Amino acid sequence: MTTALYTHPDCLSHVTPEGHPEQVARLRHVLAALEGKALDRHEAPLAEEADLRLCHPQRYIDHVRSSEPAEGITQMDPDTWMSPGSMRAALRAAGGAIAAVDAVLDGRADNAFVATRPPGHHAETESPMGFCLFGNVAIAAKHALERRGLKRVAIFDPDVHHGNGTQDLVQSDGRILFISTHQQPLYPGTGNRDEYGPHDTIRNIPLPPETDGETFRMIVTQQVLPKIESFAPELILLSSGFDAHKDDPLASVNLETQDFAWLTGQMTALAAKVCGGRLVSCLEGGYNLEALAEAAAVHVDGLIAAGA
Ligand SMILES: [Zn+2]
């Protein structure tokens, strides 16, 4: 069996201002690091508006679409921009996540990595935020539940920033468990430990600055893995941000590349135990280009090893 990779050149057309951390070069570095790996490679399809409506109202989709400039770049929020091509990039990011879920649920792949941008986990129901336009992972989770008949999906978000958008989009749905580890204090300032959601399906695990790999591994082992296992999901989604790396310029958690390899091994082993190995990982953050590429490479190596 195989690990599928979903990506698309359109995701390189989403341009941010000079010096912006969420830059085109991020995806180029990730893809270069995945060259030559034993992946079943696919073009990420464009999401349909009906896919986006699984999480966002039509008026918001219309707002984003109509905000795309014909030339230059447009500011959507203090950190989030659109250029010509951004809407197609965003549709590829959501569409890639959905296609990856379908490939795994149909048994065409053991697991999958979605290498797209813009990322999605900060986008709220009606607000672009933190480099994100649409909630890719939340949309993929809703797709699995609403259209594929799954009863429970777990999302783990180890990006160093709280996945406020994903939490906003999924917390009213008791079929989705959402767990986020994130540095606190840090952007966006949300994700307190006492937010459980109306169905007790939200778990936020704040990490103090300078948290190291040993502490992170203990938290994952003692809090994240048992919670997902007891939820008994039929699919696990990862919001794979690699910005908890010690070299990342936007945060000060001190994971090393090998910690991402360890995490991948834990998540694939858990997926094998609880849901037949069905796991889809979507790229979120990671802003030191070398660290991002290295961490993504060991992550994908772990996915491939699990599928072998
Ligand atoms: Zn992040």
The CA distances from residue 20 to 17, 23, 62, 78, in Å, are 5, 6, 25, 11
Q: What pLDDT, in 10s, does the model give residues 151-204?
A: 999 999 999 999 999 999 999 999 999 999 999 999 999 999 999 999 999 999
Nearest to 9 by CA among 47, 32, 43, 39: 43
Q: What is the CA(156)–ligand 1 centre distance, in A?
A: 13
Q: What is the pLDDT of residue 58?
A: 98
pLDDT band for position 308 (cuts 50, 70, 90): confident
Q: What is the CA(264)–ligand 1 centre distance, in A?
A: 18
pTM score over 0.85: yes
Give the contacts of 235 (CB within 8 A, at least 6 positions apart). 101, 104, 105, 141, 144, 150, 153, 154, 275, 278, 279, 280
Quick check: 83 pLDDT over 80?
Answer: yes
Q: What is the CA(225)–ligand 1 centre distance, in A?
A: 21
Give the contacts of 6 (CB within 8 A, at least 6 positions apart). 42, 43, 44, 96, 97, 99, 100, 112, 113, 114, 115, 116
Q: Where are the alpha helices (DSSP H) in the chain?
A: 24-34, 49-52, 58-67, 86-105, 136-146, 164-170, 213-219, 225-231, 257-275, 289-307
Q: What is the pLDDT of residue 242?
A: 98
Q: What is the CA(181)–ligand 1 centre distance, in A?
A: 11
Quick check: 21 pLDDT over 80?
Answer: yes
14 is catalytic: no
Report the alpha-carbon distance of residue 236 to residue 149 in Å, rounded.
Answer: 15
Q: What is the mean pLDDT of residues 257-279?
A: 98
Q: What pLDDT, in 10s, does the model give residues 65-79?
A: 999 999 999 999 999
Report the alpha-carbon distance of residue 104 to residue 221 in Å, rounded.
Answer: 25
Helix and strand numbers (H, E) in the chain are 10, 10
Classified as helix, coil or strand, 90 is helix
Report the alpha-carbon distance of residue 121 to residue 60 in Å, rounded.
Answer: 16
Catalytic-labelled residue, pool 122, 143, 245, 299 = 122
Report the alpha-carbon distance of residue 233 to residue 263 in Å, rounded.
Answer: 18
Q: What is the CA(303)–ligand 1 centre distance, in A?
A: 21
The answer to whether residues 191 and 180 touch, using CB atoms and an 8 Å cutoff, is yes
Q: Half-sphere exposure (CA, 13 Å, Cβ side) for 104?
A: 35
pLDDT band for position 307 (cuts 50, 70, 90): confident
Q: Measure CA 98 to chain center.
A: 12
Quick check: 7 pLDDT over 80?
Answer: yes
Q: What is the mean pLDDT of residues 198-221?
A: 98
Q: What is the pLDDT of residue 11?
A: 98
Q: What is the pLDDT of residue 203?
A: 98
Residue that has been written with the tokens 């464009």 in this structure: 46
Q: Measure CA 290 to chain center.
A: 19
Report the alpha-carbon distance of residue 51 to residue 174 in Å, rounded.
Answer: 20
Quick check: 1 pLDDT over 80?
Answer: no
Q: What is the dihedral of CA 82, 88, 91, 97, to 10 degrees?
A: -100
| Percent of the chain with pLDDT strictly greater than 70 | 100
Mean pLDDT of the chain: 98
